[in-house]
Structure 1
């Protein structure tokens, strides 16, 4: 059963302006520990790739916060939610701390997709209940 759906469209130029104004502090506020490593690696090869990565993660976290119905309110925080790629390249949501406990207590599972072009990054998140939660309601 679908618990929530979220989508977000992010103007990469706004992210670039924030990064220019605040430097890496902006990326460090938005990205979790695993994401920041990927961001630095991508940016060191091609600056635009790092910027697109940051914007797509920003967008996905916004979409996730909408899908779970919390917005950016505790336990949802920027760094507690990471969007990482599986070995196959598929983006996956990895949660930490209080947000992970909140999510697990509700027996939820999330699916995410991200895309970006020159000026925009977009994401879509579907959060659903697991089979065991559906059975508990019977």
Structure 2
């Protein structure tokens, strides 16, 4: 990594995500998760509700951390479903962007690195965004 353009971190309580999901069982996941994340979420939640909560929480935290790293917060073109954290074949989490955020990002930054973790009460994410010349 040559130069860091931005860093973001987020910590989220599992029970906050669980309560939001209970209040809006369909709408909440669909507002937060992209299409590929939704598929994984639904499969995990069907096997075990707690796995669904953990998945939602870590993805929520990753989106918050990413929005901080790029300096936008949750303002256009950044939006929940436009940034996904998906696993590469070996399991490593990776950032996947969709339009119009993808084009906006490409013109400003290099690679984005994401790390996620969860424990019983908390989910967390850390994002490092490289400067554009670092690709």
How do residues 127-138 of structure 1 correspond to structure 2 at under 5 angstroms? Answer: 127-130=129-132, 133=133
Structure 1 residues 119 and 102 mapped into 2: Cα distance closer, same or farther (>3 Å)? same
Partner of residue 73, structure 2: 71
For 2:84 and 2:109, locate their aligned partners in 1 and report how far apart those are by CA, in whole Å. 18
Higher Rg:
1
The runs of 5 or more residues in structure 2 that have no matched partner are none
- 2:101 is equivalent to residue 80 of structure 1: no
The normalised TM-score by structure 2 is: 0.95
Structure 1 stretches of 4+ with a deviation exceeding 4 A read none
Partner of residue 16, structure 2: 14
How far off its partner does 1:107 sit?
A: 3.9
The normalised TM-score by structure 1 is: 0.93
For 2:65 and 2:33, locate their aligned partners in 1 and report how far apart those are by CA, in whole Å. 15
Aligned residues: 133
How do residues 1-138 of structure 1 correspond to structure 2 at under 5 angstroms? Answer: 1-130=3-132, 133=133
For 1:134 and 1:51, locate their aligned partners in 2 and report how far apart those are by CA, in whole Å. 35
Structure 1 residues 107 and 7 mapped into 2: Cα distance closer, same or farther (>3 Å)? closer
